[in-house]
Amino acid sequence: MEGVNTRSYPRTALDKPIELRIGKDTIHSKNPANNLSPSGLFISRGDLPLGAAVRVRILGQRVFEAQGEIRSREPHGHGVGICFTSISARSRAALDDLIEDLTLRGLPAA
């Protein structure tokens, strides 16, 4: 039996490249297990430090950028949850457009 879902927003599969900056390190990911919501994303990388501040960039028709924090880690290193902590109005509009595009293309809910 699965645990209770405490998410505020539904997630959708993300098929766009992701760039993360943690300190001086830049990490690139394009993994079909990644997913996105208005409040954060899940990335299939279990080697990222819990609690770390991260700069998120998602490349699409419009570039989305936000500050975030790694707030959760899946067991066995399957991935981490990143909560967006600061998003500009321009990036919020880009995120809304990206989620709409993903949904209209029929990508599955995650």
Q: What is the CATH number of the domain that holds 37?
A: 2.40.10.220
Q: Which ranges of the chain have pLDDT less than 70?
A: 1-9, 108-110
Whole-structure pTM value: 0.85
The boundaries of the domain holding residue 83 are: 12-103
What's the whole-number average pLDDT of the chain? 86
- Please tell me the total count of domains within the chain: 1
86 lies in some domain: yes
53 lies in some domain: yes
5 lies in some domain: no
Strand order in 64-73's β-sheet? 12-13, 35-37, 40-43, 80-86, 64-73, 53-58, 18-22, 25-29
Question: pLDDT tens-digit profile of 41-57?
Answer: 999 888 899 999 999 99
